[in-house]
Amino acid sequence: MIPKSPVNIDVCPRSSRKSESSYLMAEYGDGLITRIDEGNWKEVLTGEWLLLICSSHQPSCGDWKAVLYQLASTSMGCLDVDLAFGDLSTNFWLRGRFSAFREANVYHVVDGEFRRLSSSHDTNSILNLLLLREWSELPPMPFWLHPTSTWSTSAEFVLKTAVDLKDLDILGRNAWKTALILDLIFFIVTPYILWLTIMTTTENMMVNDEFKLGPTESSSPLPLKSISKIKSTTPIFLQKLRQLRESKFKSI
């Protein structure tokens, strides 16, 4: 439980940096916690943040929310670090956008660079991590898991689609039916995109190989006879080149 009357009084409350978006008020003190939703999640891409993403129905999420409230009402208010919370029970798509696949997902964010923190931290260890900049010793998350990556955008779309299909009640309220439909779509679309990518890459490689220019022995201009000979043989060369490309594509 969070004490209702803490002994330490805030010296520099976080209310001096109110967020323009919706926020949660800590149970005591003047600290503010930004609630992340679809309209303001990009706020965490600028500045320094401590971000918590979990479902309020999970016990571990309740423990971490208590830590977040305590951080909002302690000396952390003197630091230029904002606090944010995303509730998976109301915004399930956050799981895909932030790759939040654990019960409690804690991130330290500096100018869009995400670092995942261990869920074993408590209030004191988090304060030390921020004050002593211990977060700099942690590796940043890979680029494909960044919230703005193609993977994260696709994962968010899939989760939103699954929730919409479930709410429309077209397939009933059974989640496994929705998951089955999405799996079928995934296994049909993904091979097509992969095949299209391979064919495009192969075609570009063949064109580059055919029109690659070799080194010249001299830089002197060609005589007039050579130029007229090239003009007369150009249509034949183009016809042979077209036949060569068609034969290669047929062999593929």
pLDDT grade for 160, boundaries at 50, 70 and 90: confident
pLDDT of residue 1: 34
Out of 34-48, 53-67, 224-238, least confident range: 224-238
Mean model confidence pLDDT for the chain: 72
- Please give the Cα distance from 220 to 213 (Å, whole number): 17
Average pLDDT (36-59) is 92
pLDDT grade for 163, boundaries at 50, 70 and 90: confident
Cα dist. 147→42, 88, 152 in Å? 9, 15, 5
Find the largest Cα–Cα distance for the chain: 100
Query: Looking at the chain, how many residues does it have?
Result: 252
- Please give the Cα distance from 108 to 130 (Å, whole number): 9
78-130 pLDDT, tens digit each: 667 899 999 998 998 898 899 888 889 999 999 999 999 988 888 889 988 98
pLDDT of residue 113: 95
pLDDT of residue 38: 87
With a threshold of 0.75, does the pTM exceed it? Answer: no
* C-beta of residue 61 within 8 angstroms of C-beta of residue 54: yes
Out of 5-14, 169-178, 180-189, 203-212, least confident range: 5-14
Where are the chain's structural domains?
A: 14-143, 152-207
Tell me which CATH code domain 14-143 carries: 3.40.30.10
85 bridge partner residues: 35, 52
Return the SS3 of 211: coil
Confidence check: pLDDT of 10 > 70: no
pLDDT of residue 52: 95
- Please give the Cα distance from 122 to 64 (Å, whole number): 8
Q: Which two tokens stand for residue 169?
A: 């009640």
pLDDT of residue 201: 72
